[in-house]
């Protein structure tokens, strides 16, 4: 087990001990605390090396860019290996808060700020390079769903680089370096930018509030557990995907104009959870297990038949997914309609056994579909992690 439990770099310990160390005077304590706060976010590092790529089994960072590329016609397997050599070196440096090699703006490398980036490959890449035999089990294009209103500008892609950090300048700088090194091999197909809470706004964890107001990400497997490994990380198949995972990516637009017209009880029934704290309608705390069989005295289900959490509930332990959704805000119309939603991600071992059956149930019948519309969709196979000297997905392109 490599370093995944070491999310907090030494910076966190330094900051905490700094505050405690000057507890003798309130003024001094607050002054030193403020000084440490200035660099606290910058010093936190996630570990790049290990069995898995970084930025998946981690608390949400505050800002993110999903960037999809289409490879050039001249890009063959050997070129992909060179592409990945550059990207591997870049991520290694950026995750330590260092500039990339040949960085035209090294002064922007102000700290790691929990920078992470990982690389995945779409079905089209395997087809273009004749690598179909290297496709992981349970990976392929997602089927069409009735609720989909997909737009090409948000969908598909040969290569995904997903970059996140706790600071927008750190994110922009890292993004620039990675995109620059992709340009000899590929062109940018789409960029989707999003955000979650600033660190310190809510307790650490994957659940955050989405822009409909709901606590989002409950019922995820817990980071750093065997359970997480079983849901997310692939153990068999082609060597390059071992330690990797499969991503179902969905850009989900929220219809807030109509959602905002609902009262709190209607909103809570649509989802099956309380807005105040994310507890199921049959419980008091977010962590309470929903009682799908509970009924009101009048015979109606407490968690309605159409409620999102009833429809999304896995039929078995093997059908679960790990969600790590960011929000997006893409503009406001002249009439005041906000263009917002989720950059929704589900990580899993097998799309056929995990995301797809869940989504089929939601597609059939989920009241939340009235206010949530998938407008982008993509799937990527995310290579396993690397140790020193290895190249991301090196075994796929060698």
Partner 1 sequence: MRKFALILFTLLVLAGCSAQGEVRASDLWVKSSEMSTIGGVSAVYGTLTNNTTNDIVLIDGQTDLAGIVEVHEMAMINGELKMQQIAGGLLIPAGQSIQLEPGGNHLMLMQLTKDLLAGEEISVTFSFEGADDLVVDRILAKPAEGGDEEYHSSETKMVN
State the residues that interact with partner 1 by CB under 8 A: 79, 81-86, 89, 101-102, 104, 180-181, 183-185, 387-390
- Residue from 103, 158, 216, 366 carrying the catalytic annotation: 216
Q: How far apart are CA 170 and CA 176, in angstroms?
A: 10
Contact between 42 and 165 under an 8 Å Cβ cutoff? The reply is no
Q: Which is nearer to partner 1, 88 or 369 (CB)?
A: 88
Shortest Å distance, C-beta 72 to partner 1:
12
d(CA 144, CA 150): 9
Rounded least distance, CB 391 to partner 1, Å: 9
Give the residue with the Cβ less far from partner 1, 37 or 183: 183
Q: CB nearer to partner 1: give 84 or 215.
A: 84
By C-beta, is 206 or 396 nearer to partner 1? 396
Q: Are 257 and 270 in contact (CB under 8 A)?
A: no
* Distance, CA of 355 to CA of 349 (rounded, Å): 10
CB of 118 to partner 1, least distance (A): 18
Catalytic: 260?
no
Q: How far is the CB of 327 from partner 1 (least distance, A)?
A: 33
DSSP for residue 107: G
User: What is the signed CA dihedral for 372, 373, 379, 380, rounded to 10 degrees?
Assistant: -60
Cα separation of 381 and 398, whole Å? 17
Q: Are 46 and 55 in contact (CB under 8 A)?
A: yes
| Residue 358 near residue 239, CB atoms below 8 Å | no
Q: Which is nearer to partner 1, 83 or 195 (CB)?
A: 83
- Shortest spacing between CB 243 and partner 1, in angstroms: 11
Q: Are 339 and 330 in contact (CB under 8 A)?
A: yes
For the annotated catalytic residues, the residue numbers are: 216
């Amino acid at each position: 087990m490599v370093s995944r439990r070491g999310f907090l770099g030494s910076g966190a310990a330094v900051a905490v001990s700094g505050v405690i160390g000057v507890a003798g005077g309130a003024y001094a304590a607050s002054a030193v605390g403020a000084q440490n706060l200035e660099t606290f976010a910058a010093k936190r590092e996630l570990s790049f090396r290990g069995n898995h790529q970084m930025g998946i089994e981690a608390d949400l960072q505050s800002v993110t860019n999903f960037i999809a590329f289409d490879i050039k016609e001249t890009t063959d397997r050997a070129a992909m290996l060179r592409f990945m050599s550059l990207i591997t070196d870049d991520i290694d440096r950026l995750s330590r808060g260092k500039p990339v090699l040949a960085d035209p703006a090294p002064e922007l490398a102000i700290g790691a700020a929990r920078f992470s980036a990982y690389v995945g490959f779409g079905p089209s890449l395997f087809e273009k390079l004749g690598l179909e035999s290297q496709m992981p089990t349970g990976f392929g294009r997602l089927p069409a769903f009735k609720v989909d209103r997909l737009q090409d500008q948000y969908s598909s892609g040969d290569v995904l680089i997903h970059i996140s950090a706790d600071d927008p300048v750190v994110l922009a700088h890292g993004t620039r370096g990675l995109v620059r090194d992709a340009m000899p091999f590929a062109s940018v197909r789409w960029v989707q930018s999003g955000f979650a809470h600033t660190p310190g706004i809510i307790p650490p964890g994957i659940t955050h509030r989405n822009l409909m107001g709901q606590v989002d990400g409950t019922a995820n497997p817990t980071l750093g557990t065997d359970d997480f490994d079983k849901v997310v990380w692939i153990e068999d198949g082609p060597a390059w995907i071992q330690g990797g995972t499969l991503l179902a990516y969905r850009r989900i637009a929220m219809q807030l104009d109509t959602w905002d017209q609902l009262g709190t009880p209607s909103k809570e029934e649509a989802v099956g959870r309380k807005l105040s704290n994310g507890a199921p309608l049959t419980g008091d705390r977010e962590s309470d297990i929903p009682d799908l069989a509970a009924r009101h005295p009048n015979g109606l289900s407490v968690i309605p038949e159409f409620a999102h959490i009833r429809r999304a509930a896995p039929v078995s332990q093997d059908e679960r997914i790990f969600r790590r959704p960011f929000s997006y805000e893409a503009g406001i119309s002249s009439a005041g309609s906000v263009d917002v939603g989720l950059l929704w991600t589900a990580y899993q071992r097998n799309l056929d056994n995990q995301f797809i059956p869940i989504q089929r149930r939601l597609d059939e019948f989920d009241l939340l579909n009235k206010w949530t519309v998938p407008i982008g969709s993509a799937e990527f196979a995310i290579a396993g992690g690397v140790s020193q000297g290895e190249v991301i997905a090196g075994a796929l392109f060698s």
